[in-house]
């Protein structure tokens, strides 16, 4: 019986994780559920799974949830704040942590889980983007089991040799092929992108996701962050990672070997598949996902990404090659710019302009500890907010 903490239980990954867990009550129990301020959904989750702890970042939301649970007769203890997130990620009673908080907010509790030697199901790509070397050092030193949950990285993990230890040449690996749907604007005329709305950007053709990650998919910044994540997960260089546009989102990623073989992982676009794989590894369990109907799909298409259409992807490669604090700066600027776009403050095309301005203007520093990461993040957010003011509609 695995004891599980879910960081970000009210988001799309969190709810999918609970769906899988609910199918296997004999294998998993929920120790803690966490959210930002979504009281109503977190309350329903607590009623169903009866966790020991529920954590919210918003004080008012925590007070409301505490009252609701008391009225319902549940003994779940309600905590509040980042320190509480770190605690429920590292307590001895926890076996596994699903790291599904979107953005930089997930960094500290995920790092706490790594220091505590937990099995980490990593869906928070920003942890590796911002603090790749710091996080991976913590994983190695503590002996944590790290399993990628992003569908692409999970596919790569499955396609690599089972004993892969980060040595491409020694394992006969030639390169990694990271697939991308191309998002909702893959074929939109470039001259029309200036006028697209947040709602249009959030209409992903294949996946159901939160608004921030949906915008990242529309700009392909999400794929850029995944390139940086892959660098750390699999110990590869930027030149070893090729992004491939694959509109059907059926092939989740591929690994090419030096003998010419290419191994791919296929499946319906449903996050419950990689979640179930991570939960049960090295075994497999029912995820609730429908079987893949190849006859219905009929065709699989591929194309090279257009960096003129997707400048955010090019900026991510630029940050990865620069190294040091550059990826943390990239991530922070993107979070600020996307929030401004969703609030109708800047245009869709201005998201890349904000990121490029911040990335090219800030010096690159070495990153040796968490404080270095947080300092770069704070400075980049300040610079990005200044750029948003200049570009405000």
Cα 59 → chain centroid: 26
Q: What does the alpha-carbon distance between residue 130 and residue 367 come to, in Å, rounded to a whole number?
A: 9
Cβ contact 267:246 at 8 Å:
no
pLDDT of residue 282: 95
Q: What number is the average pLDDT over the span 161-167?
A: 93
What span, in angstroms and rounded, lies between the C-alpha atoms of 314 and 143? 34
Q: Maximum Cα–Cα distance for the chain, whole Å?
A: 64
Q: Of 393 and 339, which is predicted with more confidence?
A: 339
Q: Which of 303, 300, 327 is nearest to 134 (CA)?
A: 327
Residue written as token pair 């001259």: 191
What would the two tokens of residue 149 be?
């949950």
Task: Give, as one character, the DSSP assignment of residue 30.
Answer: E
First CA to last CA across the chain, in angstroms?
53
Share of the chain above pLDDT 90, in %: 93
Q: Which residues pair with 7 in a beta bridge?
A: 99
pLDDT at 102: 82
CB atoms closer than 10 angstroms to residue 125: 28
Residue 316 token pair: 């991510």
Summarize pLDDT for 74-85 with one digit per residue, the tens: 999 999 999 999
pLDDT in tens, 241-292: 999 999 999 999 999 999 999 999 999 999 999 999 999 999 999 999 999 9
Check whether 294 has a pLDDT greater than 90: yes
At 261 the pLDDT is 98
> Across the beta sheet with 241-245, what order do the strands follow?
241-245, 173-180, 251-257, 262-266
Residue given tokens 């079987």 in the structure block:
291
> Which phi and psi (to 5°) does residue 124 adopt?
-95, 95
Contact predicate 312/219, CB 8 Å: yes
Q: Using alpha carbons only, give the angle 338, 343, 347 rounded to the nearest 5 degrees.
A: 60
What pLDDT, on a 0 to 100 scale, did the predictor assign at position 340?
Answer: 97
Q: Does 73 have pLDDT greater than 90?
A: yes
What pLDDT score does 393 carry? 72
In tens, the pLDDT along 165-180 reads 999 999 999 999 999 9
Mean pLDDT value across the chain: 95
3-state secondary structure of 227: helix
Sign for the CA dihedral angle at 40, 122, 105, 112 comes to: positive
68, 75, 82, 313, 330 from 149: Cα distances, Å = 32, 31, 23, 21, 22
CB 194 within 8 A of CB 286: no
Per-residue model confidence as pLDDT tens digits over 109-131: 999 999 999 999 999 888 999 99
Of 327, 251, 242, whose CA–CA distance to 294 is shortest?
Answer: 251
Q: Which among 154, 210, 217 is positioned nearest to 181, based on CA atoms? A: 217
Place of tokens 């960081």: 7
How far apart (Å, rounded) are the C-alpha atoms in residues 293 and 257? 27
Cβ within 8 Å of residue 360, ≥6 positions away: none
What percent of the chain clears pLDDT 70, i.e. is strictly above it? Answer: 99
Cβ neighbours around 319 below 10 Å, total: 28
Q: What is the pLDDT of residue 213?
A: 87
- For residues 275 and 20, is the Cβ–Cβ distance under 8 A? yes
| Domains of the chain with CATH codes | 2-148 (3.40.50.720), 155-297 (no CATH), 323-391 (1.10.1740.10)
What does the pLDDT average to over 328-354?
Answer: 96
> CB–CB of 48/22 below 8 Å?
yes
| Least confident range of 17-21, 202-206, 344-348 | 202-206
The pTM of this model reads 0.92
| 392 has pLDDT over 80 | yes
CB 331 within 8 A of CB 225: yes
pLDDT the model gives residue 271? 95
Token output for 199: 């709602």
Token pair 């990672």 in the structure block, residue:
241
In this predicted model, what pLDDT tens digit does every residue of 21-32 receive, in sequence order? Answer: 999 999 999 999
Specify whether the CB–CB gap between 344 and 393 falls below 8 A: yes
Element (H, E) at 157: helix 151-159
| Strand-strand pairing, 96-99 and 2-7 | parallel
Rounded to 5 degrees, φ, ψ at 21 are -60, -40
Helical H runs in 206-323? 211-219, 221-234, 272-280, 294-297, 311-322
């Amino acid at each position: 019986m695995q004891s599980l903490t879910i960081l970000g239980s009210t988001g799309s990954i969190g709810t999918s994780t609970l769906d899988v867990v609910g199918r296997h009550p004999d294998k998993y129990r929920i120790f803690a559920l966490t959210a930002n301020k979504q009281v109503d959904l977190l309350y329903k989750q607590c009623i169903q799974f009866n966790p020991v702890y529920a954590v919210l970042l918003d004080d008012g939301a925590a007070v409301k949830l505490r009252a609701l649970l008391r009225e319902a007769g549940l003994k779940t203890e309600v905590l509040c704040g980042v320190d509480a997130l770190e605690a429920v990620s590292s307590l001895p009673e926890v076996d596994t942590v699903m790291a599904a908080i979107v953005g930089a907010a997930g960094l500290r509790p995920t790092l706490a889980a790594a220091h505590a030697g937990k099995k980490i199901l990593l869906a928070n790509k920003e942890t590796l983007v911002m603090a790749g070397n710091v996080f991976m050092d913590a994983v190695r030193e503590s002996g944590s089991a790290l399993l990628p949950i992003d569908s692409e990285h999970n596919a790569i993990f499955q396609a690599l040799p089972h004993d892969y230890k980060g040595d491409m040449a020694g394992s006969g690996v030639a390169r990694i092929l990271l697939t991308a749907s191309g998002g909702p604007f893959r074929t939109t005329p470039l001259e029309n992108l200036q006028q697209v709305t947040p709602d249009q950007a959030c209409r992903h053709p294949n996946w159901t996701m939160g608004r921030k990650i949906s915008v990242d998919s529309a700009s392909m910044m999400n794929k850029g962050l995944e390139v940086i994540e892959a660098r750390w997960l699999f110990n590869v260089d930027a030149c070893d990672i090729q992004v491939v546009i694959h509109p059907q989102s059926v092939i989740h990623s591929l690994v090419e070997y030096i003998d010419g073989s290419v191994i791919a992982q296929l499946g319906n676009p449903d996050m419950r598949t990689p979640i179930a794989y991570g939960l049960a590894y090295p075994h497999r369990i029912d995820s609730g996902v429908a079987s893949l109907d190849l006859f219905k799909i009929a065709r699989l298409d591929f194309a090279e990404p257009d960096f003129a259409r997707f400048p955010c992807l090019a900026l991510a490669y630029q940050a990865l090659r620069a190294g040091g604090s550059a990826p943390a700066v990239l991530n922070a600027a993107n979070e600020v710019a996307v929030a401004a776009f969703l609030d109708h403050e800047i245009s869709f095309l201005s998201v890349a302009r904000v990121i490029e301005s911040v990335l090219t203007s800030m010096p690159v520093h070495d990153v040796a500890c968490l404080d270095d990461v947080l300092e770069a993040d704070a400075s980049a957010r300040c610079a990005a907010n200044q750029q948003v003011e200049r570009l405000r509609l």
